Structure 1
Amino acid sequence: MSPRRFLGLAVIIGSALLGVPVLVALIGPLLAGPVRSAAGPLRPPGPEFPLGTDVLGRDVLALALSGGASIVALTGLSLVLAYLLGVPLALLVAGRRSRWADGFLLRVLDFVLALPGLLVLLVLAAAGWRSVSTLIVAIAVLQLPAVVRIVRSAALAPGCRAAVEAMTMQGEPWWRIHLGYLGRAVLGPVLVDAGTRLSLVLYLLASANFLGLGLAPSASDWAVLVERNKEALFLQPFAVLVPALLLVSLCMGTNLLVDQALLRRNEVATR
């Protein structure tokens, strides 16, 4: 198989993997039936419930159709907020020549990076900070140190520094160099990091929702369903596998499309 055909096949597979959970998240709530307890818990698939019921006696099919919007929205908002804060901050630090400011910021971020994510979520839940907005901000802040370090490292690469020095000697304005040029230069590492960070954010959201931070433990969210039904995996596997496969498909599709987009970008740049 030629590289071009392989690239096209990878894009098709990635689009399918990403498209299925996204379509379910967007259209599923319109097709889902009621998600209240309607039968005995952990019933196997049958004519009335094609995928059986979960530990609370709710229809697994209705839960899967209605549980994607919340997890997709929360994940997207958390990632967007982390990069909206982290990327400009890293570019500003990389553009300044003050080692003191650079070192101070990195030490503060190292402190945040050393905090266990689950411990932070437990403290927030115990303190009564259980709103969805608190959850989004907390997860974004927990991702901020890693985002800043990755973007800063990419912006300080030798190739970027040489180009920055050349543009400075040509009299280019500061904002165009450090926000415009460096922003485009770090786009590839940012996209790769966002694709891999997606699974970590999903894990934190699942843990937070199970702790009662953000969404209630009885919500139909995919991540909550996995946590809620994991003890009954061998009794009613569909209650765990269906939402878990949708989450896996979301992560794999995103990573695959990001990788292929970067490959195409590199091919265009080398021509």
Structure 2
Amino acid sequence: MPGAVRLGGRARRLRRTRPGPVTLLSGGILALMAAAALFGTWVAPYDPAAQDLALGATTPGWAHWAGTDELGRDVLSRCLAGARSALLWPLVVALGTCAMSTSLGLLAGYRRGWIDAVMMRVVDLLIAMPGLLMLIVLVGVLGGGIGWAVLAMAVLFTPGDIRVVRSLTMAQRELAYAEAARTLGLGRARIMFRHLLPNIAPTVVAGALLSFVAALVALSGLSFLGIGLPAGTPDWGLMIEENRGLLDLNPWAAVVPAALVTIAATAATLLGDQLFERLSDA
């Protein structure tokens, strides 16, 4: 019977760690999109920039599975090529936001004192500002390039995550294992990153995926407004803006990139929820 108990406990742990259907589906979708971002220009049936003005906008067919836009460019090829810019820059924003918010949140929550007070006042000021409006103004003032848009977005996304990490760190630093580490004379950096960080990792990972989703939607919105990437660049948000006038001729030219943005955002959100639950139970 003790062996059966051990076997049952092992089986329960395997069920908890085994990815569920939602995790597999959302992870598979994001993996396919990542593959398109890496190899899309190689597997695209046509040159994404090739124009055929005589052909113009056409509906889907055997030659062009998603049709063509008003310049005769293949929509499917542009969607495959556009996955790189549509996913890469939100990933950069998410990683930058995660790195800054985790480091600063750990520092503020663990050190407390004047460091925490000054940092929280700056965070409160940034959170009080209208994010989207500030983003548009900053990108417009700084020149409208995608690099400035990514930098401004990472800075504006960081304050909210700092507050979350700070509150978790404040709770963890009072627990027995953190007190034991301080008693042993371990350095602050080692305690924060080797002991506290693993215990708040589920929230950090989930927050990074949510930052990716927010950046994906925001950058697509900026591209739709004509801010960031230059005109004609294969990008999902820019394709929606370029093809919104073709809803009568070929609606798929705008519907397909819009659907891809929606699917990517939904898959990343679901994956973040699933990873948070599984890492929290680990």
What range describes the TM-score normalised by the shorter chain of this pair? 0.7 to 0.9
CA contact (8 A) 1:18 1:249 kept: no
Say yes or no: does 1:4 pair with 2:9: no
Q: Which residue of the partner structure matches residue 51 of structure 2?
A: 37
Code of the aligned partner of 2:35: L
- What does 1:6-21 correspond to in 2, within 5 Å? 7-21=19-33
Deviation at 1:231, TM superposition (A): 5.0
Q: Shift in Å at residue 265 of structure 1? A: 3.0
- For residues 7-64 of structure 1, the C-alpha deviation after alignment (integer angstroms, 9 at most, x for no partner) is 4323321232212211221221112222243245542123432211235442211111
The question of whether the paired residues in 1 share the 8 Å contact of 2:87 and 2:216 is answered with: no
Quote the Cα distance in structure 2 between the aligned partners of 1:64 and 1:94. 43
Flag the structure with larger Rg.
2
Secondary structure, aligned partner of 1:156: helix
2:210 to 178, 183, 196: 196
What amino acid maps onto 1:198 in structure 2? Answer: F
* Superposition CA RMSD, Å: 2.6
Larger CA deviation: 61-70 vs 217-226:
217-226
Matched with 2:9 is none
Provide structure 2 residue ranges, at least 5 long, that are not aligned to the other structure.
Answer: 1-11
From the superposition, tell whether residues 8 and 243 of structure 1 become closer, same or farther in structure 2 (CA, over 3 Å): same
Report the Cα distance in structure 2 between the residues aligned to 1:215 and 1:25, rounded to whole angstroms: 16
Between the aligned partners of 2:251 and 2:173, the Cα distance in structure 1 is 50
Structure 1 consecutive aligned stretches of length 4 or more whose deviation exceeds 4 Å: 231-235
The code of the aligned residue for 2:174 comes to: R
* 2:210 and 2:272 in contact (8 A); partners too: no
In 1, the alpha carbon distance for the partners of 2:173 and 2:267 equals 30
What residue in structure 2 maps to residue 81 of structure 1?
A: 96
Paired residue for 1:72? Answer: 87
Aligned mates of 2:244, 2:117 — CA distance in 1: 44
Could you tell which deviates more after superposition, 83-92 or 14-23?
14-23
Cα distance between partner residues in 1 of 2:270 and 2:217? 19
Residues 127 and 169 of structure 1: CA distance in aligned 2, closer, same or farther (over 3 Å): same
Shift of 1:115: 2.6
Alignment of 1:50-65 (within 5 A): 50-65=65-80
Contact kept, 8 Å, 1:155 with 1:182, in 2: the verdict is yes
Q: Quickly say closer, same or farther: Cα 1:235–1:12, change in 2 above 3 A.
A: same
Give distance in 2, aligned partners of 1:153 and 1:113.
16
Q: Once the two structures are superposed, what CA deviation does each residue of 1:94-148 show, in whole Å capped at 9, x if it has no partner?
A: 11130x3322211212222233333233323433522332122111001111121
Question: Is the contact made by 1:55 and 1:228 (CA closer than 8 Å) also made in structure 2?
Answer: no
TM superposition score normalised by structure 1: 0.85
Matched residue SS, 1:127: helix
| Paired position in structure 2 for 1:238 | 252
Alignment gaps of 5+ in structure 1: none
Kindly report which structure 2 residues correspond to 1:116-131, keeping only aligned pairs within 5 A, or say none. Answer: 116-127=130-141, 129-131=143-145
How far residue 149 of structure 1 moved from its aligned partner, in angstroms, is: 1.1
Aligned length: 265
